[in-house]
Amino acid sequence: MTAARSWLMATALLAGIAAAVPVQAGERRDGGKLVLTDGISTVEGSAGGGLATWAVIAGAETKDGIGGTVHATYVALPDFDLTSFGGAIGISNRVEFSYAHQIFDTRAVGAALGLGQGFTFNQDLFGAKVRLIGDAVYDQDSLLPQIAVGVQYKIANRGTVIRAVGGRQSRGTDFYASATKLVLSKSLLLGATVRLTKANQFGLLGFGGDQDDSYRAQFEGSVGTLLTPNLAIGGEYRTKPSNLGFAREQNAWDGFAAWSFDRHATLTVAYTDLGDIATVRGQRGALLSLRGRF
């Protein structure tokens, strides 16, 4: 089964799940969610933190409306740069569709590797997510977290280079399940995601490799606290498979601060560690992200 067919089948399944889960009818209205309770935008486009996907649905709307987000994210590393921009639509706080485009600039490393100065890897990411049960904000009296399942279809543009370094495919599909719990009385957020993936460096270096070409479960964890209703700090940790023989891949983590300086806009800054990338060690740097929502 091709990756494209897998993504289409998974999206159809999520749509069926969404249709089967009851949604209360109500008058459509503008906004309703507390700021920061729908997270920010990940570098992959879905609602969550910078690195980790959360179970929350993008946008300011509750069950009575359609909302959305747009984002622009820049990650400055010692030897590379990563830019991500895109958007997401949230429908009735139940279903989310997202898109992101990533540009990974190899700068001087590209020349050293024989690819050329400033050689770039690009990737398009299409996502769908469905909230199954729970509500991170309104279920404060329950221990049950908000739980969602999702799929992401990723298309990398450098198939020839990917195959040269041992990658098996330039397209791939990730599947995940997320749980997010917000405890407003303690200003605490906890999140966990299990992702089935073959992605190398989030997919920028393709999927599967000469070391392993099977789906493997990876973990994404998040913890955050609201210092004020408009300011959150926290950290994330994300494991990654290591499928390519030419370069071992490490896990990633960050520490972030997200400031909602307007009901419809959030600025996030983070210190992030992506580990070694393509034999280049110690890729730690700064993440800056601006997100708008409606």
Mean pLDDT of 128-151: 95
Judged against a pLDDT cut of 70, whether residue 12 lies above it is answered with: no
Round to whole Å and give the CA distance between 21 and 149: 13
The whole-number pLDDT of residue 5 equals: 53
Q: How far is CA 84 from CA 23, 42, 99, 123, 166, in A?
A: 32, 9, 10, 9, 25
The whole-number pLDDT of residue 8 equals: 53
- The chain-wide mean pLDDT, for the chain, equals 90
Round to whole Å and give the CA distance between 6 and 250: 27
Which structural domains are found in the chain, ordered by start?
3-293 (2.40.160.40)
pLDDT per residue over 261-289, tens digit each? 999 999 999 999 999 998 899 999 999 99
Judged against a pLDDT cut of 70, whether residue 87 lies above it is answered with: yes
pLDDT per residue over 90-113, tens digit each? 999 999 999 999 999 999 999 988
Judged against a pLDDT cut of 70, whether residue 27 lies above it is answered with: no
Judged against a pLDDT cut of 60, whether residue 40 lies above it is answered with: yes
pLDDT per residue over 227-265, tens digit each? 999 999 999 999 999 999 998 999 999 999 999 999 999
Residue 93 belongs to what H/E stretch? none
**How open is the CA angle 242-41-197, to the nearest 5 degrees?**
25
Q: What is the pTM of this model?
A: 0.88
